[in-house]
Amino acid sequence: MGSSEERIVAVIMVGGPTKGTRFRPLSLNTPKPLIPLAGMPMVHHPLSACRSIPNLAQIYLIGFYEDREFAMYVSSISHELRVPVRYLKEEKPHGSAGGLYSFRDYIMEDNPSHIFLLNCDVCCSFPLPEMLEAHKTYGGMGTMLVIKVSAELASQFGELVADPVTKELLHYTEKPETFVSDLINCGVYIFTPDIFTAIQDAFIQRKDRANLRRMTSFEALQSATKALPADYVRLDQDILSPLAGKKELYTYETRDFWEQIKTPGMSLKCSELYLSQYRHTSPHLLARSNGTKGATIIGDVYIHPSAKVHPSAKIGPNVSISANARIGAGVRLISCIILDDVEIKENAEVIHSIVGWKSSIGKWSRVQGEGDYNAKLGITILGEAVGVEDEVVVINSIVLPNKTLNVSVQEEIIL
Ligand code: GDD
C-alpha cells in the first residue's frame, strides 16, 4: 500500500463523437462511453475500478464530447464513489497523449506522485493496485498493462517486446503489418508526472521535423501538415515507441480477461465478462430466480430495480435489463442488452441482440442474431425507439432509430 503522503490521480480517455463511429446506431443518441454494459455505462467499469487505488485524490474524464452529455453521470458517480470526478472537455481532439497534456495544470493541482491513464473502451479486471506496486519496483517513468493474445489478433493492437526478467519495454510498434509479438498493449498505464516532459519533447520534435521539411521540400511540408496537427500527440506512436529500450517504460502482464470494445458485438461479449465478474465483486447486482421479480433466471443476469419483469419470463444467461424496461409474460431473453424504457410484449424472444432505448417488441416476435460478436451482422441491433410489430422476425440485422418493422427481415441494415 502507498505511503500516506502520496496522492494519485486517475485519468480516463473517453474520446469524442468523431470516434466510436463503429458503435452506430447506438452512438447516434448516446456517447459511446455511456452505453451500458452489464447494466452500467461503459466508463463506469474503469471508473469504479479506480476505487481500489490507494490515496486517490481525483478522477478526470478527458474527451471532446459536449460537457452536458457527461454532467449528470459525473455528478452521480462522484457521489457514489466518494471521490471527486470531473469531465474536462478538449476543444478538438489532441490525440491520446496530447489530450492528457492539454489538462496538465488540472492534473498536477493535487501534486500527484503517480497518474493512472486508462482507455475507456477496454474491458478487463483493471489490476490497478498491482500495477502501482510493480511500477514502484521497476522505478521507471511508466508501466503499461500488457496481455498475450493469439498471433492472428495481435495486429489489431500495439505489439511489444518486453525483457522477460526486468519487464522493461524493449520494443513497441502500433498495429504493425508484419507480426512482431503476441504481447500487446491493453491501454491501461501508470506514469510519474515526468510523462508531461516526454509529451512536451514529442511536441517539440514534431515542430522541429516540420520546420526542417519546410526548409528542404514544400511537398514534404504539405504532407506533414496534412497528416497531423502540430498539437496532436499519440501516446502509442509518439511516446511509447521512441521511449522503448531506454529504461523508462516497463510492463505488467495480466493473465485475467481483457477485450477491446470497438463494436456493439464486442459490447455484448464484454457485458458477459463484467456480469461474470460481478459474481466476485458485486454479487448483489446479479438477479436470482427466487428474487422479488419471480422470473426464471439462468446464469448471470442484471435487472435494474425499476424494470418490471413478468414472473413467467425466462431470462439468461448474459442478459442485462436497464431502467423502466417492461418484460411481458412468456418472454425469453438470451445474451442481450435491453436498454431503458424498452417494452417486450408477451411470448417474444430476444437472442444475441441489443435493443435500444424506448424500443418496443410485439407479441410472438423474434429478434435474434447468430452470436458472432466480431461479424458486422453477427448480432441484431435495434436503435432508439424502434418498433417491431407482433409476430415479426428480425435476424442478423441493424435497424436505425425510429423505424417500425411490420415485415420480417434477415441480414439487412434498415436505414
Ligand atoms: N480525449 C481524447 N482525445 N481521447 C482520445 C483521443 C483524443 O484526441 N484520441 C483517442 N482517445 C481515446 C479513445 O477514446 C480511447 O479510449 C483511447 O484514447 C485510445 O484510442 P485510440 O488512440 O483511437 O487507439 P486505439 O483504441 O485504436 O488503440 C489503443 O488502445 C489499444 C488498447 O485498447 C492503442 O494504444 C493500442 O496499442 C492498444 O492496444
Q: Is 237 in the pocket of ligand 1 (CB under 6 A)?
A: no
Q: Can you say how many angstroms the Cα of residue 402 is from the centroid of all Cα atoms in its chain? A: 26
Q: Which domains does the chain possess?
A: 8-261 (3.90.550.10), 265-414 (2.160.10.10)
Dist. CA 119 → ligand 1 center (Å)? 6
Cβ neighbours around 329 below 10 Å, total: 13
User: Which whole number is the average pLDDT over 302-307?
Assistant: 97
Q: Report residue 406 as a C-alpha cell.
A: 411490420
Contact 244, 169 (CB under 8 A): yes
Count of alpha carbons within 13 angstroms of residue 145, beta-carbon side:
27
Mutate to test the pocket of ligand 1, among 19, 34, 42, 122 (most ligand atoms within 8 A of CB): 19
Residue that is written with C-alpha cell 515542430 in the block? 207
218: pLDDT confidence band, cut at 50, 70 and 90?
low
CA-to-CA separations, 189 to 40, 59, 74, 403, in angstroms, rounded:
23, 14, 22, 42
Count of alpha carbons within 13 angstroms of residue 231, beta-carbon side:
9
Pick the range with the lowest mean pLDDT from 14-23, 64-73, 356-365.
14-23
pLDDT at residue 205 above 90? no
Using one digit for the tens of pLDDT, what is the confidence trace for 133-150?
999 999 999 999 999 999
Atom of ligand 1 lying closest to residue 156 CA: 39
Dist. CA 15 → ligand 1 center (Å)? 7
pLDDT at 229: 74
Q: Is 158 in the pocket of ligand 1 (CB under 6 A)?
A: yes
User: Which whole number is the average pLDDT over 102-119?
Assistant: 96
pLDDT at residue 214 above 90? no
Dist. CA 129 → ligand 1 center (Å)? 22
202 contact partners, CB below 8 Å, separation of at least 6? 97, 233, 238, 239, 242
Q: Is 99 in the pocket of ligand 1 (CB under 6 A)?
A: yes
Using one digit for the tens of pLDDT, what is the confidence trace for 2-52?
556 789 999 999 999 877 678 899 988 899 999 999 999 999 999 999 999
